[in-house]
Amino acid sequence: MKASKFLVLAGGILGILAFFLPMVTIHRADYSGSASAFQIIKGLQVAGDAVNSDSVRAAAMNSEAVSQAKEGLDAMKGIVMAIFVPAILLAAFGAFAVTKQRFGRAAGFFSLLFGLIGLGIGALLKSAAGADGGIGLTLLLATGALGTVGGLLALIKPERAAPVAQVPRLAGVPA
């Protein structure tokens, strides 16, 4: 068994795990806290429910402002979820390769592609967070690195399906 499919699977699992771990950890003199992507999504859901409440709609002078706020919150949820799409796809490619016991060039190419995308997203977020980056961002970087390495290994030497053994047959003898 080749290790490339297991690298991709491990990278995908780490990326999914990163969704629940702190992405940002802030330690200041007056505040200390952390937030995971899961907590951010839940907070945006609560804010969306508050925007949809009857009291907010009644207090709003303009229903267009309420709909724009709802659209903005939905867009933010989409952005947070999009960060983890490469990790989910890497986990799916890895799981599929493990169950099928092969990891060809096509799967290697897409693993390399999504690994590079995940690595880029993780590096961008890690540099934006600076010293406040949490373990979730580090795991996103590891996800991208494992997906990239696994995809590259599969492109260099793909794992083909095991050949089916042919039973020798004698000429003139029916099967």
List pLDDT tens digits, range 45-80. 888 888 777 776 666 667 777 778 888 888 888 888
**Are 147 and 86 in contact, with CB atoms under 8 Å apart?**
yes
Does the structure show a pLDDT above 70 at 82?
yes
What are the Cα distances from residue 88, in Å, to 8, 9, 69, 70, 92?
A: 11, 10, 29, 26, 6
CA 31, distance to chain mean position in Å, is 30
Position with higher pLDDT, 119 vs 160: 119
pTM, two decimal places: 0.81
Which residue reads 């693993």 in tokens?
A: 111
- pLDDT of amino acid 73: 86
